[in-house]
Amino acid sequence: MGMGMDLNKRGESGESSGESSHYLDDAFELNDVLSPVQRLIAIHDEIRHTQSLADVTRIAIALFDSKSRRLKTFIRSGTKDSPLDHYTASLDDIPSLLEVAKLKRPRVVDDLGMFHASPSVHSTKLLSHGFRSSLTVPIFHHGELFGFLFFNSEKAACFTDVVAHQLIPYARTIALFAINEMQQIRVLQAAVKTAREITHLRDDETGGHLDRMARYSRLMALNLAAKQGFDDEFVEYVYQFAPLHDIGKVGIPDNILLKPGRLTEEEFAVMREHVDKGIAIIDAMRRDFDLDSLSHVQMLRNIVAYHHEAIDGSGYPKGLKGHQIPIEARIVSVADVFDALTSARPYKHAWSPEAAFEFLHSAKGLRFDPDCIHALEEGMAEIRAIQAQFAESPLG
Ligand SMILES: [Fe+2]
Ligand SMILES: [Fe+2]
């Protein structure tokens, strides 16, 4: 009752004050999906328009990967070219950040130049780009370290207590949207994992394959970044979405999926349907999980749809050629095949990386993007580290 009365009242007052109403400049369209970078830039704009915060010229987030204990740059704002793009480091090698994480408290550095005794790569790079002071905020989610938020200024001692306190609500907002974005990806990955388990999917895609091929994809995206103009956000999404490439296999019958020997032509035709089934699953998830609020969903769809296309047009399902195939799909297909070649399967031994590259090169220009092969080959040391960390257990 009370609510109804309130509603009526509002209606009346709305009508009576009609003449004094006006429109605001900003319309917002809720279907507009901003990527994390775009959101960060929007918040930074707001911060810069606050007079006391006008000297904050760079905001950045680095994500913490608890499996490898590495930090990786993710998104940043600021017009200057960034000192730390495509940067990763072990958290344990950065004592100052380790300390911030342990204390779980933001830290202010008034003059980055004062760290002469043991300058970290991080502060040295910032200094060389003219940044003088910083506020570092550790981000935790469910008690686990999620990453760090960095505010930088070209002015020394920019982050007074007053400024730091003004920035904290913004820091919360930024941390929240970053966590929310990653959380959505995790929900998606968990949904796919559950679907695989329910359908007893036990094919080559189990074990370390997904861990390794996601990291190979990331490595390639990083090594291609300068040439292709990828930012760290792009690199991170390739890494997050790569393991979902074969999501459509949950729809392939066991007798074909798990068949130990070679597939017949007919069986292979059924197997190829995993791509269309995967697209259907992504589209259903977009609808049912409200995935459209997740940015870069198109990249995910491209990876699922085109990871079996070949440069020469001999792939499936569309027979696209060369640059018609989105770069994220070209990356994932090389990572996927490289890992298949270098892994032991019931019917074959694991190839050495060298032998695998020889094979990829021999098919170069035919099936795989040569730039992608080179991008992977450049990272031989990382390949070996990934193989060592995500080795198959002898028990399979
Ligand atoms: Fe596939
Ligand atoms: Fe795969």
Each residue's pLDDT tens digit, 152-208: 999 999 999 999 999 999 999 999 999 998 988 888 888 887 877 766 555 555 668
Burial class (CB in 10 A: 0-12, 13-18, 19+), 353: middle
Residue 205 φ/ψ region, left for φ over 0, alpha for ψ in the -120 to 50 degree band, beta for the rest? alpha
- Nearest ligand to the CA atom of 252: 1
For residue 123 the two structure tokens come to: 């502060």
What are 151's strand-pairing partners? 59, 135
Sheet bearing 107-109, strands edge to edge: 88-90, 70-76, 56-65, 144-153, 133-141, 107-109
Quote the DSSP letter at residue 345: B
Q: Which ligand number lies closest to the CA of residue 334?
A: 2
Judge whether residue 261 has pLDDT over 90: no
Q: Using 50, 70 and 90 to split pLDDT, how confident is the model at 285? A: confident
134 DSSP β-pair partners: 109, 152
Ligand nearest to the CA of 214: 2
| Complete DSSP assignment for 267-289 | HHHHHHTHHHHHHHHHHHHHHHT
Ligand nearest to the CA of 247: 1
Task: Give the Å distance between the CA of 22 and the centre of ligand 2.
Answer: 56
Ligand nearest, relative to CA of residue 337: 2
Interatomic CA distance for residues 138 and 146, integer angstroms: 8
Spatial separation of the C-alpha atoms in residues 13 and 10, rounded to whole Å: 5
Pair 190, 183: CB distance under 8 Å: no
Q: How far apart are CA 207 and CA 392, in angstroms?
A: 7
Residue 144: phi and psi, rounded to 5, are: -100, 145
pLDDT at 387: 95
Compute the distance between CA of residue 167 and CA of residue 206 in angstroms, rounded to an integer. 44
- Cα of 193 from ligand 2 centre, angstroms: 14
Higher pLDDT, 113 or 350: 350
Ligand number nearest CA of 248 is 1
Instruction: Using the mean position of ligand 2's atoms as its centre, give its distance from the Cα of residue 128 in Å.
Output: 42
Q: Are 73 and 86 in contact (CB under 8 A)?
A: yes
Least confident of 75-89, 158-172, 193-207, 281-295: 193-207
Confidence of residue 19 (pLDDT cuts 50, 70, 90): low
| For residue 317, cis peptide bond before it (omega within 30 degrees of 0) | yes
Please list, in sequence order, all residues whose beta carbon lies within 8 angstroms of the beta carbon of residue 252, skipping any fewer than 6 positions away: 270, 271, 273, 274, 277
Distance 331 CA to ligand 2 centre (A): 12
**pLDDT tens track for 308-317:** 999 999 999 9
If you measure from the C-alpha of residue 184 to the centroid of ligand 2, how many angstroms do you get, rounded to a whole number? Answer: 22
Rounded to the nearest angstrom, the distance between the alpha carbon of 355 and the centre of ligand 1 is 22
Q: What is the pLDDT of residue 344?
A: 87
Helix (H, G, I), strand (E, B) or coil at 110: coil
* Rg from Cα positions in the chain: 25
Contacts 24+ apart (CB under 8 A), 136-139: 136/97, 136/100, 136/106, 136/107, 136/108, 136/109, 137/106, 137/168, 137/171, 137/175, 138/100, 138/101, 138/104, 138/105, 138/106, 139/61, 139/175, 139/178, 139/179
| Greatest extent of the chain over all pairs of C-alpha atoms, in Å | 81
How close is the Cα of 132 to the center of ligand 2, in Å?
Answer: 46
Ligand 1: centre distance to CA 245 (Å)? 6
- For residue 307, the CA-to-ligand 1 centroid distance in Å is 6
Neighbours of ion ligand 1 (CB under 5 A): 246
Ligand index nearest the alpha carbon of residue 246: 1
1 pLDDT higher than 50? no
69 CA from centroid of ligand 2 (Å): 25
Q: Which ligand is nearest to the CA of 336?
A: 2
C-alpha of residue 271 to centroid of ligand 1, in Å? 9
Neighbours of ion ligand 2 (CB under 5 A): 336
Instruction: Note the ligand closest to the C-alpha atom of 216.
Output: 2
Cα 343 to ligand 1 centroid, rounded to whole Å: 16
Contacts of 28 (CB under 8 A, 6+ apart): none
Comparing 9 with 321, which gets the higher pLDDT? 321
Ligand 1 centre and the CA of 384: distance in Å?
24
Mean pLDDT of the chain: 86
Considering every ligand atom shown, identify the ligand nearest to the alpha carbon of residue 249 and give its number. Answer: 1
Average pLDDT over residues 385-389: 93
